[in-house]
């Protein structure tokens, strides 16, 4: 039996069997906004949680550390000379289509708009990629997108579709001077049917707002992720984002019923079907799901939203080994079955990093090598509690988990989730992060983190305290329920030596285990060169043919993907 603990005032500590009393609570929507990032800003924690006895560690002052231009980081990459440079006449044309307001066009071609006004469009969330775009277009309608793309295609002007710019592979920012087509003004919900659960909405709707919209009629958007307050639903589809509840609701490939897309030549592909079943020919919309803006721009989506659960419980456990985490997962599937909605993994280093960066107090007093967060969502409070009690009793009495807490209020739900969702931002706290998003068979999943840590312990690049070392720490976390590991190497600065140590080592490691080098973040520019570790030559050739078919001039998001 695990030792008995004093109940903490904030969260109910899970103790001996039969003393558990999980409370069901109405389904809620958590609210997260990414801290706006500009060049002159320090990282700030995802949540406002803080505690006096755990002051956040000071982040190095990065005000001076400008993000390197991608063209400098990738000197082998040359601007494609087929692409025209934007002229005054082009800008005039775009004004005739979109109007002249600043909301529609950010123009640094014909006027003096300073570089700093473009920074939030040109640079990515990780502060790793930076383009040199001098023209941002923000269409408001599908017809405007169509006219803009048609013109760009005729004029050989390269473009980058952009949503909330929270992507983690450098796909949403230009490499050179590509025009950014930002979808944020296409933000209307077109319809929601509470009988079928089908939401039809424009691409620029923020994920959290889409969820709040359907929540009013007791439905849930079938995707949730840490960037929900910033990312856009069209881009979520374009990246085939996975997130925190894929285990329960499945991927975008399954939930998207229809898409409205604009092809590079301006053709509007209206496939905004609301049908669940439609076996009439090739399912072309699937190519745009995860297409990362390389074959067209998604302007609207039709998506199936499930009924929102009214009984949601969240528990956070400490475990002594990765084997115990796997056992806990097996038991969760067996005993919680259809009410299991998330099973997330965090290692000790990731929680310590989160604690140091955010100042938030961790839920458990003692440190454990592993933690997991389990969420259940069901429709019947009594039924769920019965199942959850049996599960908790089992994992505690069998010593599968060593300690745990369960949320009893919405605030506690938020603070438990923050321990998981806050890791991404915490990883950035010291200056930057090398991110690897991998599918690995579960039994071997965590070995990669151990091997990476060993490598950095041996190669003299890592120190938690000494600022002259580039690497701060190696952490592992992810969507255990989807066999999806996030290996993050937190660094004080982006450094070629660190990159050389990691790549292609990580990709070779994953390929040997028949894993995927990109589980959910996509390829962008970061993973483009490595696609061969996860896809055969035949597959890559077919992908290139698809790209050529839709975008013969190659104007859509060039230098990326394949």
H or E element, residue 304:
strand 297-304
User: Cα(93)–Cα(98) distance, rounded to whole angstroms?
Assistant: 9
What phi and psi, each to the nearest 5 degrees, are found at residue 554?
70, 25
Kindly give the interhelix angle for 322-336 and 381-397, rounded to the nearest 10 degrees: 150
Angstrom distance (rounded) from CA 47 to CA 70: 30
Question: How far is the CA of 527 from the CAs of 242, 326, 482, 533, 556, in angstroms?
Answer: 17, 29, 20, 10, 17
Of residues 145 and 413, the one with the C-beta less far from ligand FAD? 145
Q: For the CA atoms of the chain, what is the radius of gyration?
A: 24
Paired with 136 in beta bridges are 106, 180
Task: Tell me the pairing of strands 179-182 and 159-162.
Answer: parallel
Can you tell me the distance from the alpha carbon of 31 to that of 315, in angstroms, rounded to the nearest whole number? Answer: 19
527 binds, among ligand MLT, ligand FAD, none (CB under 5 to 8 A by kind): none
Q: CB nearer to ligand MLT: give 46 or 187.
A: 46
Q: Quick one: how far is CA 213 from the chain centroid?
A: 21
Instruction: Output 481 or 558, the one with its CB closest to ligand MLT.
Output: 481
Q: Return the number of the residue (83 or 370) whose C-beta is nearest ligand MLT.
A: 370
234 vs 478 by CB, closer to ligand MLT: 478
- Least gap, CB of 325 to ligand FAD (angstroms): 19
Provide the minimum distance between the beta carbon of 523 and ligand FAD in the complex, in angstroms, as a whole number.
Answer: 9
Is 160 within 8 Å of 173 (Cβ atoms)?
A: yes
Of these partners, ligand MLT, ligand FAD, none, which one is at the site of residue 239 (CB under 5 to 8 Å by kind)?
A: ligand FAD
Q: Which residue is nearest to ligand MLT (CB)?
A: 424
Alpha-carbon distance 353 to 347, whole Å? Answer: 10
Between 25 and 486, CB nearer to ligand MLT? 486
Residue closer to ligand FAD by CB (options 347, 425) is 425
Q: Where are the beta strands (DSSP E) in 111-203?
A: 135-137, 159-162, 179-182, 189-193, 198-202
CB of 385 to ligand FAD, least distance (A): 28
Pick 22 or 432: Cβ nearer ligand FAD: 432
Pick between residue 351 and residue 424 the one whose CB is nearest to ligand FAD. Answer: 424
- Does 165 participate in binding ligand MLT (rule CB under 6 A)? no
CB of 552 to ligand FAD, least distance (A): 18
Task: Tell me how crowded residue 179 is: count the other CB atoms within 10 A of its CB.
Answer: 24
Per-residue mark of binding to ligand MLT, 520-559 (x: CB under 6 A): ----------------------------------------
| CB of 522 vs ligand MLT, minimal distance in Å | 11
Q: Pick what 164 binds: ligand MLT, ligand FAD, none; C-beta below 5 to 8 Å, kind-dependent.
A: ligand FAD
Q: How far is the CB of 488 from ligand FAD (least distance, A)?
A: 12
- Least distance between ligand MLT and beta carbon 207 (Å): 13
Which of 347, 384, 403, 437 is in the footprint of ligand MLT by CB under 6 A? 437
Q: What is the phi/psi pair of residue 188, to 5°?
A: -100, 140
To ligand FAD, the closest distance from the beta carbon of 207 in angstroms equals 8
Q: Which residues here bind ligand FAD, judged by CB under 6 A? A: 34, 125, 160-168, 171-172, 183, 203, 225-227, 231-232, 234-236, 238-239, 241-244, 292-293, 297-298, 424-425, 520-521, 524, 557
Q: Does 424 help bind ligand MLT (rule: CB under 6 A)?
A: yes
Considering beta carbons, is residue 285 or 486 the nearer one to ligand MLT?
486
Note whether 126 and 437 are within 8 A (CB): no
What's the burial of 53, exposed, middle or buried (CB within 10 Å: 0-12/13-18/19+)? exposed
Closest approach of ligand FAD to the CB of residue 129, in Å = 11
CB of 61 to ligand FAD, least distance (A): 22
Per CB under 6 A, contacts with ligand MLT among 470-489 are: 486
> Is 226 an interacting residue with respect to ligand MLT (CB under 6 A)?
yes
Write down the least CB distance from residue 64 to ligand FAD, Å.
Answer: 23
Residue among 311 and 448 whose Cβ is closer to ligand MLT? 448
Q: What does 486 interact with, of ligand FAD, ligand MLT, none (CB < 5 to 8 A by kind)?
A: ligand MLT
Taking the complex as a whole, the smallest distance from the CB of residue 201 to ligand MLT amounts, in Å, to 23
Q: Which residues pair with 487 in a beta bridge?
A: 436, 476
User: And the tokens for 468?
Assistant: 């002259």
Extended strands (E) in 90-206: 105-107, 135-137, 159-162, 179-182, 189-193, 198-202
- Scanning 503-536, the segments in alpha helix (DSSP H) are 505-512
Q: Are 432 and 455 in contact (CB under 8 A)?
A: no
The Cβ-side half-sphere exposure at 257, using a 13 Å CA radius, reads: 18
Q: Which CB, 178 or 482, lies closer to ligand MLT?
A: 482
Which entry of ligand MLT, ligand FAD, none binds 170, CB below 5 to 8 A by partner kind? none
Interface positions with ligand MLT (CB under 6 A)? 226, 424, 435, 437, 486
């Amino acid at each position: 039996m695990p030792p008995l603990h004093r109940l903490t005032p904030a969260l109910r500590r899970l103790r001996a069997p039969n003393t558990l009393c999980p409370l069901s609570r109405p389904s809620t929507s958590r609210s997260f906004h990414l801290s706006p990032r500009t060049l002159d800003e320090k990282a700030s924690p995802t949540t406002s949680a803080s505690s006096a006895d755990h002051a956040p560690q000071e982040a190095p002052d990065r005000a001076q550390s400008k993000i390197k231009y991608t063209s400098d980081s990738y000197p082998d990459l040359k601007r494609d000379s087929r692409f025209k440079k934007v002229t005054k006449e082009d800008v005039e044309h775009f004004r005739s289509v979109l109007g002249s307001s600043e909301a529609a066009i950010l123009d640094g071609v014909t006027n003096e708009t300073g570089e700093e006004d473009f920074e939030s469009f040109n640079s990515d969330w990780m502060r790793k990629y930076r383009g040199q775009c001098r023209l941002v277009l923000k269409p408001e309608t599908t017809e405007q997108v169509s006219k803009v793309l048609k013109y760009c295609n005729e004029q050989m002007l390269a473009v980058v579709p952009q949503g909330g710019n929270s992507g983690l592979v450098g796909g949403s920012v230009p490499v050179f001077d590509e025009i950014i087509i930002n979808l944020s003004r296409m933000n209307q919900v077109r319809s929601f049917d509470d009988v079928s659960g089908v939401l039809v909405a424009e691409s620029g709707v923020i994920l959290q707002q889409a969820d709040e919209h359907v929540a009013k009629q007791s439905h849930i958007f079938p995707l949730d992720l840490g960037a929900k307050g910033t990312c856009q639903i069209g881009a979520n589809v374009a990246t085939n984002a996975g997130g925190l509840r894929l285990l329960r609701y499945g991927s975008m490939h399954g939930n998207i019923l229809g898409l409205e897309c604009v092809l590079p030549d301006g053709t509007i592909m209206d496939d905004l079907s609301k049908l669940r079943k439609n076996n009439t020919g090739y399912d072309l919309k699937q190519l745009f799901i995860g297409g990362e803006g390389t074959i067209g721009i998604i302007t609207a989506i039709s998506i199936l939203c499930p009924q929102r659960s009214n009984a949601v419980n969240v528990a956070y456990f400490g475990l002594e080994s990765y084997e115990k985490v796997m056992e806990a997962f097996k038991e969760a599937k067996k005993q919680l079955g259809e009410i299991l909605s998330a099973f997330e993994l965090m290692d000790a280093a990731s929680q310590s990093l989160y604690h140091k960066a955010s100042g938030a107090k961790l839920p458990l007093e003692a440190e454990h090598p592993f933690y997991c967060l389990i969420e259940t969502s069901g429709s019947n409070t009594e039924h769920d509690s019965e199942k959850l009690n049996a599960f908790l009793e089992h994992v505690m009495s069998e010593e599968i988990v060593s300690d745990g807490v369960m949320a009893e209020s919405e605030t506690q739900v938020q603070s438990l989730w923050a321990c998981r969702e806050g890791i991404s931002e915490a990883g950035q706290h010291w200056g930057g992060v090398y991110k690897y998003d991998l599918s690995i068979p579960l039994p071997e999943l965590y070995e990669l983190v151990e091997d990476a840590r060993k490598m950095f312990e041996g190669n003299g690049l890592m120190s938690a305290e000494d600022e002259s070392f580039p690497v701060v720490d190696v952490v592992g976390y992810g969507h255990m329920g989807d066999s999806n590991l996030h290996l993050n190497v937190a660094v004080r600065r982006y450094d070629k030596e660190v990159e050389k140590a990691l790549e292609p080592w990580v990709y070779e490691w994953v390929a040997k285990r028949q894993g995927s080098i990109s589980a959910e973040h996509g390829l962008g520019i970061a993973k483009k060169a490595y696609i061969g570790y996860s896809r055969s030559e035949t597959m890559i050739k077919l992908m290139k043919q698809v790209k050529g078919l839709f975008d013969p001039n190659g104007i859509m998001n060039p230098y990326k993907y394949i």
